Chain A
Amino acid sequence: QKEVEQDPGPLSVPEGAIVSLNCTYSNSAFQYFMWYRQYSRKGPELLMYTYSSGNKEDGRFTAQVDKSSKYISLFIRDSQPSDSATYLCAMSVNSGGSNYKLTFGKGTLLTVNP
């Protein structure tokens, strides 16, 4: 079993839809959880960052972490064509404050159709 599992999709939704992206993980030492967005032929850019369990909201994006179930989610409300990208979940352990080594999911390709 890989440490981080993510459904690669692809996922295609109409504009305005609510999108739910998910990852599961097996390493209980993960404490930092991130979502990256990657446009075609570009590097990943940090979208959301959360520490431990709970919800975090930023505009149309909500990141949710459930450590008891080892499950994280990213919700996108009122999705826009500009949200079309690959979304990668990433995690790291709390290693003396040095959380620079990320373990990534494979990424989910999202297309929002106008």
Chain B
Amino acid sequence: NAGVTQTPKFQVLKTGQSMTLQCAQDMNHEYMSWYRQDPGMGLRLIHYSVGAGITDQGEVPNGYNVSRSTTEDFPLRLLSAAPSQTSVYFCASSYSRTGKGNTIYFGEGSWLTVV
């Protein structure tokens, strides 16, 4: 059981380039989300999805796109990278039912630097 898998782990981009951070989970979780973590800012929600075909914006969505074509995958796209998007990105997933508590599983993180 791999849990939540993120790729790549490290990436350097030039300003204006685009890229996709991949996220996959094998726990059949309905909910998936992307957070970014910056020094002194904590974890902030970028986008989330409550199921295949359904996505919505979180606290800091500007400059990012998402789609959810399958239950397993939830890629995060940077359309035109900016230095302000230098951060650590975490993908997370969870069940929908409260009977499962609120266990949200996080991936290992993707370190992105935009120069």
Contacts and interface: CB of A to CB of B under 8 A. Distances in A.
Contact of A100 (B43, B44, B94): B94
Contact of B104 (A42, A46, A94, A105): A46
A106 interface: yes
A100 B32 CA distance: 8
B74 interface: no
A104 B31 CA distance: 18
Contacts of A101: 33, 45, 48, 58
Given A46-B104, A100-B50, A101-B48, A106 B98 contact: no
Interface stretch (B63-71, B78-86, B106-114): B106-114
Contacts of B35: 104
Contacts of B58: 101
B41 interface: yes
B103 A46 contact: yes
Contact of B103 (A8, A49, A105, A106): A49
Contacts, number: 61
A45 interface: yes
Interface residues of B, number: 27
B40 A43 contact: no
Interface residues of A, number: 26
Looking at chain A's contact residues, the main secondary structure is loop
B108 A43 contact: yes
Contact of B42 (A34, A46, A88): A88
Contacts of B45: 101-102
Nearest to A89: B42
Contacts of B4: 43
A16 to B, nearest CB: 29
A43 B42 contact: no
A41 interface: yes
11 contacts: A8-B40, A32-B102, A43-B4, A43-B107, A45-B106, A90-B43, A98-B96, A99-B98, A99-B102, A100-B50, A106-B40
Interface of B: 4, 31, 33, 35, 40-45, 48, 50, 58, 90, 94, 96-98, 101-109
